[in-house]
Every structure is written in C-alpha cells, then in structure tokens.
C-alpha cells in the first residue's frame, strides 16, 4: 500500500499531439521539463484517450467511464456558466471524490470544461478554473471564489501561479494533497504567446509538422492554418511556454522538499495534427470525425522518484479509462462500486514490473457515431449508420495511408474486428446515454443527455433525423 503521504500533481494539457514533445522524438520543439518527467520516470508509447476531443476525454479521465456511460459526447458548447449552467457529471463518481473521502486535499487550477464552472464539484476544495474551455491567452475569463473575473496576465502563468500557491499552502500538511493543473495550452488561438518564445522558432524548419495536401475531409481550421508558419510558431510557442511553467512546478516541489513524496503525471486530453494527414485539428478536425493516431494518442509521462523506475519506456497499450483504477491502486484506495468500469489498472506497467496480459490489451474509442477498436497491429474504425469505415495494418502502414476496409482479402478481419467492437460497447454502454445515434458532429454539446434532460431538446447541433 502506498504511503499516506503520497501527493499527486496531475498536469493536463489541451490539444497536445503525441509528436509535440522532445522525449517522443521531436528534435524541433523544446520541452525540457516534460522530458525531465520522462527521464525521472516512465514514458508511455501507446497511451490513448477514450474520445479525441476535450470534454468527454476529461470526463473519462476523472470517472473511468466512457462517453456512452457518463454522457459527455462532445466539447461542451453551453452550460458552463450563466442561468443554464449544468453539471454534466452529476451522478458520476470521480476519483477526486474518492481521494477527498480518504483525506486528500484536492485542488484544481485551470481548465474544467465539464459544466457549472462557477461551482466547486467532485471533492475539490480549491477551485480556480476557466469559465469556459479556452479562448484568449491574456486576461482570460476565470472563476475565483465563485466570482467571474478576467485574470490579468498570460493565462499559462496565471494557472501556474495559482497552482504554486496551492502547493505552498499544503506542502507541510499532515494530510496529502491532490492538484490538477489543467493548462489551456496549446489549444488555439496560436497568438498572444510570449513574443520571445514565438521568435525563437523563426528559423525552425517544422519538419515534424509536414504540411501535406489538404485532406478531403478537412474543415475550416485547416484552411486558416495549413502551410501557415505563424500558426506553427504559435503552436510550438504555446507548448514551450507551458513547458517552462511545468519546470516551475517541479522546482517548487523540490524546493519544498516533497518531490519524493509526490506522483507527477503529465498527459494531454487529446492529440492533434498540425498539417499531418493534410489537416489541422483533432477528432473533429475533419467531417466525418476521425480516429487517426495523432488524434487518439497522446503524450503521457509519470514520475515518482524512489517508486517509479527512472528512464523507463513502456510500450504497453493503455487507455484513459484505465487511469482511474490505476491511480487509486497506486494510492491504495478502493474503486467505487457499481460503476461498470471498462478499464483495468496498469500499475505493474507503471512500476516497471511484468504485467501478464497487458501486451494483448485492446483499446476502444468512441466519438458519437464513430467508434474504433485498436490492437497492437490493427485498427478498425466504424461509422454508424453507413460508413465510411476504415481498416489499417499498423505494422506495415503506421501512418494510416491505405484503407483496407473494402478489400475482399481483409473481409474476415473487418468482420471480426467489428464484432469485437460491438461486443465490447454492448458490455459497457448505458442505453440512456448511448452516443451512437445522437448525431454528434463535433460542433459541440449544448446540454447533458439522459433521463430528465431528454425533455430539454436536442443536445447536439446537426442531429440526424
């Protein structure tokens, strides 16, 4: 069982591609502090989000449940503040609820984007959050002590300063603390970032972001950004400026003498493409929605000196729905009962131990009518009701260039993978919150789904009739 003094710092970025970190092999982007976490801990090569867009992904991290269980299927367009504010995770059990119940002081600094941003929720005692889900990087709209404010300064620094204050207040407590630091970086806009950092990328070749021919499914963001060096500089600057502040967090843990008592997790809410495959964006960067590797795979590094081996590179297949059971197991805390959780702990992989069966783990994703099953070697994507569907041989085609779904030689594999996918979702989907037929288009969610909310009308834009 873990020490009662194990603190947790959970750093979550917004729209950071798995390629956008030095420790993942990118020689162009500067991320010395993300790399520092990896060098002192474990780097996961195959960490997948459960939905490749922010709000549902964040809900899955917190609850261990998929979109068709917790009911958050798209980024939340409405219901964050104001008279129509709604608690999208009402009735769910977050791991922060469990931590708070067992004595952890829980705080959040940064992006919430799961409804009712003005109201402290799910075990958090400290609550300094973004009013919405993103926006301008300077003088950003935040919530402090229940009040809506415009916080002066660069929002990445504002979030970090608040987080440092929380660490200072609780570093010497008898009880451990949990702190979520949720940056809006590197989400758009890719303007308003520290000019010296932007200028430092003037001579970058951006070979890590090939500006490919426009994808036939690409939408408006691609037209604004494809081939635009200023957008590339802004994205890279957002990552590097954020990385600088990750360094401030690590330095503060060390100066307070609690680094060896603290698990540090760094991960992103979804991946991102900056010209890869000919589009800019994540799962909703195309119509129809996509499940490309750059959309569903994210950087994930975790460090706890003295407990997690340093410099470990872990190839195990891991999903965001595995995170809640893993964290609670790491801290020696019980899983909440009756939640039909789809994930399982990857604690042995985190600790560098043999994890029998982990190498055969299959990962599942959903984004409304688009669902995915992904093995170590193959990926199948099914779009309800009528496709187009995709099948990729990831061993021979890791960049997902040749869709094999309609090739007769692969008919049996396509049928088998679809059956695997449908059996898995049938096991876990709550029929009241099933996203398959809800007409999710990537344009945002307007209100919760299921139960009493069904009388409030369509929760999504462009719902299929």
Can you tell me the distance from the alpha carbon of 90 to that of 107, in angstroms, rounded to the nearest whole number? 19
| Residue that terminates a domain, selected from 332, 354, 376 | 354
Host domain of residue 175: 7-354
pLDDT in tens, 201-245: 999 999 999 999 999 999 999 999 999 999 999 999 999 999 999
Side by side, which strands form the sheet with 262-268? 147-154, 138-144, 124-130, 105-110, 177-182, 7-13, 262-268, 300-303, 42-48, 312-319
Helices and strands in the chain: count of H runs, count of E runs: 12, 16
246 and 169 housed in the same domain: yes
161 and 85 housed in the same domain: yes
Nearest 5°: the CA angle 400, 350, 428 is 60
Contacts of 309 (CB under 8 A, 6+ apart): 41, 42, 351, 352
129 and 206 housed in the same domain: yes
What is the structure's pLDDT at 354? 83
pLDDT in tens, 84-107: 899 999 999 999 999 999 999 999
**What CATH number is attached to the domain comprising 283?**
3.40.720.10
**Structural domain count, the chain:** 2
What is the structure's pLDDT at 3? 46
313 and 382 housed in the same domain: no
Residue 2: inside a domain, yes or no? no
Can you tell me the distance from the alpha carbon of 159 to that of 351, in angstroms, rounded to the nearest whole number? 30
Low-confidence ranges of the chain (pLDDT < 70): 1-4, 356, 454-457, 461-465
**What CATH number is attached to the domain comprising 394?**
3.30.1120.10
Can you tell me the distance from the alpha carbon of 49 to that of 366, in angstroms, rounded to the nearest whole number? 10
173 and 93 housed in the same domain: yes
| Residue that terminates a domain, selected from 315, 330, 354 | 354
Cβ distance 111 to 184 under 8 Å? yes
What is the structure's pLDDT at 5? 82
What is the structure's pLDDT at 1? 39
36 and 105 housed in the same domain: yes
């Amino acid at each position: 069982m873990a020490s009662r003094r194990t603190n947790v710092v959970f750093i979550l970025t917004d729209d950071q591609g798995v390629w956008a970190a030095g420790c993942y092999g990118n020689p162009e982007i500067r991320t010395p502090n993300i790399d520092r976490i990896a060098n002192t801990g474990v780097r996961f090569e195959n960490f997948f989000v459960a939905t490749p867009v922010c709000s549902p992904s964040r809900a899955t991290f917190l609850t261990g449940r998929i979109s068709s269980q917790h009911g958050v299927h798209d980024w939340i367009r409405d219901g964050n503040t104001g008279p129509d504010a709604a608690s999208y995770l009402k009735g769910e059990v977050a791991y922060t609820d469990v931590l708070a119940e067992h004595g952890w002081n829980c705080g959040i600094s940064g992006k919430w984007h799961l409804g009712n941003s003005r109201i402290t929720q799910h075990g958090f005692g400290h609550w300094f959050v973004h009013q919405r889900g993103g926006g301008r990087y300077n003088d950003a709209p935040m919530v402090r002590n229940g009040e809506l404010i415009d916080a002066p300064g660069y929002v990445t620094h504002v979030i970090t300063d608040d987080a440092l204050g929380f660490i200072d207040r609780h570093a010497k407590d008898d009880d451990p603390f949990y702190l979520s630091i949720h940056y809006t970086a590197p989400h758009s806009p890719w303007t308003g970032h520290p000019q010296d950092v932007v200028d430092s990328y003037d001579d970058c070749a951006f070979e890590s972001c090939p500006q490919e021919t426009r994808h036939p499914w690409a939408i408006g963001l691609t037209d604004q950004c494809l081939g635009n060096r200023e957008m590339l500089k802004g994205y890279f600057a957002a990552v590097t400026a954020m990385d600088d502040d990750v360094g401030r967090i690590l330095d503060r843990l060390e100066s307070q003498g609690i680094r060896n008592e603290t698990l540090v997790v760094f991960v992103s809410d979804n991946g991102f493409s900056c010209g890869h495959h000919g589009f800019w964006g994540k799962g909703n960067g195309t119509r129809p929605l996509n499940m490309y590797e750059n959309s569903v795979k994210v950087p994930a590094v975790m460090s706890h000196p003295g407990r997690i081996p340093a410099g470990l590179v872990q190839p195990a297949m891991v999903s965001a729905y595995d995170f809640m059971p893993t964290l609670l197991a790491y801290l020696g805390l019980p899983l909440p009962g009756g939640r039909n959780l789809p994930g399982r702990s990857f604690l042995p992989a985190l600790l560098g131990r043999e994890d029998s069966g982990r190498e055969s783990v299959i990962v599942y994703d959903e984004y409304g009518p688009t669902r995915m099953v992904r093995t170590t070697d193959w990926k199948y994507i099914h779009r309800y009701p009528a496709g187009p569907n995709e099948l990729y041989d990831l061993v021979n085609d890791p960049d997902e260039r040749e869709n094999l779904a309609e090739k007769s030689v692969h008919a049996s594999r396509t049928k088998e993978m679809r059956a695997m996918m449908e059996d898995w979702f049938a096991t876990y989907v709550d029929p009241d919150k099933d996203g398959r037929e809800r007409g999710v288009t990537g344009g945002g969610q307007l209100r919760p789904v299921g139960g009493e909310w069904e009388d409030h009308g369509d929760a999504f834009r462009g719902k299929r009739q």
